[in-house]
Structure 1
């Protein structure tokens, strides 16, 4: 299995502690990926306090409506018939006057849980004496600081497999690749599509197949970038041309920059496979370093045998040239002809 993304691992660790009711007095959640931050906030709001205790002990507010001092005052209260009060500050980056809150976080109320949810990367400011820097240092000492960083493209498919597993389902490796390719790194959108897939499955079914994904997200199971690279990797030129011709006839989602980026990413992995294999790295570690499911290693092994390092280098040069041509440098060539010619030149 490919190595899990650091952000995802940290989010799971926090959620596990919350499930075990191991609460910290202050949480600073920040970063450009909304999914993990919102997942942690939602879990706290739904599970930290039972319904009958929420009326007087749960506060969900917005940074624009309060100052840091007011949040500190709220957190200093005594809970009413509950083990603690829960304060979730959304859009916390809009909070003003943070120094009183920083001072509170040095010695937080043990009967309060404060969650500061920043919808962007936290900026500590200049110097250790800035209010933002003081707040960050205080929370590091008494609570949890979690950065929800976006996943890289190659990390999405492994994340999909883990997320699907958490929902009590399984997914075919190529099906997870199709989801990642079609939906990108927007994890909330990916999670939403997985939910749609789950709703559309018969109760007795638990496996998300390539066919189901293709039908749900509107992607051809037969004519897609993964089948194209598979044909190229195995040296099946007629099949590669057939797939490319169909993709060119249906350019939505198969635009030139997207296909070139897919081919470049594929050959980078083929190149790296050869380098790692030459160093006698174990197969499991190779899969992790490439960021691919072990299921696909055989395909990369076949491709590496067919496209040695020198050939990969020439493919990179060719793709750069085609990219420039597609942007108007040089003679204009119809998309279908350009794609077919590129594939022929790669495989010959």
Structure 2
């Protein structure tokens, strides 16, 4: 639904009411930003765009504004930010039942979800566009990076997309900021490789979590130790929680590739939720190298260090010590 609403805002193919809520603030902020930039032209914004803030406003105030005719042009836009602070939600019921045909109302309700048992929420779900943003899973991040790069007219290789995903994780705002910086400096005809992404984002092109996973896939101990030592010197940029999460996802995929070895490439790619078919070969090869017992032991080990990364049973050890200990245990498994 997120992409559909973005398209509606950009093409001005609008519904009367949009209610935006959920766990992923980035999506709500992005939709509001795109609406502000696209729905009302610059020459009309002083007259036909009204923005309300929940702490200072009521439903009665912004619905009254929605019913006023545009001063110029043929459409008005009313945006309510910080709507979670509003108290008189029952006063929106009449407007939901009979919205203005010449106004688009966008309500951004962040940081918590409204009570789904409330009459006004039930009515919104029936008669308005009710969008609930959800935090993306790790396997969805590469597709997000790819779509955002395409939106910015940035050409980028699959491996470079994976590197961005692994390095930044599911902080969508951070991903957007990094791609925005790249857009300002990269030649539009240039295709972003791992080397270029490493250069522009400030990731070591040889010593990063993407290369660590590849080295571990093939039990390349020399390379594993080199990457481990380099990463451990900069745990601030490579937090243990992120490293463990990436390694856990990686080994689960290897385990699945081994368990479902008879599946076709297309079937296995769907099962593993791999965004790029070119990565299948690595998982199939790694599945031949590791035994079932090795994989199960490593996955169990990663669960233990996931807890440590969150401060559980960390035994007064540093992130660096925990990271090195984890990698050595994987190698010696």
Alignment TM class, shorter chain as reference: 0.7 to 0.9
**Aligned equivalents of 1:336 and 1:85: distance in 2?**
55
Question: Residue 201 of structure 2 is aligned with which of 217, 222, 230?
Answer: 217
1:327 and 2:318 correspond:
no
Cα deviation, 1:35-66, whole Å, max 9, x if unaligned, reads 22222222222221223333222101111111
Counting only pairs closer than 5 Å after superposition, residues 1-348 of structure 1 correspond to structure 2 as: 10-124=1-115, 127=117, 133-205=118-190, 207-278=191-262, 280=263, 282-292=264-274, 293-320=276-303, 327-328=314-315, 338-339=325-326, 341-346=328-333
- Which string of whole-angstrom CA distances, capped at 9 and with x for unpartnered residues, describes residues 149-190 of structure 1? 111233212210121122222222222222223322221221
What is the TM-score when the length of structure 1 is the normalising length? Answer: 0.84
Contact 1:245 1:340 in 2 (8 A): no
Root-mean-square deviation (CA, aligned residues, Å) is 2.6
Q: Offset at 1:337? A: 5.9
Q: What are the Cα deviations for residues 214-253 of structure 1, in whole angstroms up to 9, with x where unaligned?
A: 1222221111222122122123222222322333344443
Q: Which runs of 5+ in 2 are unaligned?
A: none
TM-score by length of 2: 0.88
Alignment correspondent of 1:5 = none
Q: Higher mean Cα deviation, 147-156 or 82-91?
A: 147-156
SS in 1 for 2:136: coil
5+ residue gaps, structure 1, are 1-9, 128-132
Q: 2:16 touches 2:128 (CA, 8 Å); kept in 1?
A: yes
Instruction: Give 1:321 deviation, angstroms.
Output: 5.7
Distance 1:248 1:118 in 2: 40
1:255-297 deviation per Cα after TM superposition (whole angstroms, max 9, x unaligned): 544433332221111112223334x2x4234323323222211
Distance 1:53 1:225, change over 3 A: closer
Alignment partner, residue 3 of structure 1: none
| Count of residue correspondences | 326
Q: Indicate the SS of the match to 2:69.
A: coil
Measured against aligned partners, the alpha-carbon deviations of 1:52-86 in whole angstroms (never above 9, x if no partner) come to: 33322210111111111122211122222322221
Change (3 A) 1:345 1:324: farther
Q: Cα gap change, 1:345/1:106 in structure 2, threshold over 3 Å: closer, same or farther?
A: same
**Aligned partner of residue 159 in structure 2, secondary structure:** helix
Q: Answer whether contact 2:114 2:121 (CA < 8 A) is retained.
A: no
Contact between 2:10 and 2:35, CA under 8 Å: does it hold in 1?
A: no
Aligned partners of 2:207 and 2:230 also within 8 Å: yes
What CA distance in whole angstroms lies between the structure 1 residues aligned with 2:256 and 2:138? 17
Change (3 A) 1:337 1:22: closer
Contact 1:248 1:339 in 2 (8 A): no
Deviation at 1:115, TM superposition (A): 0.6
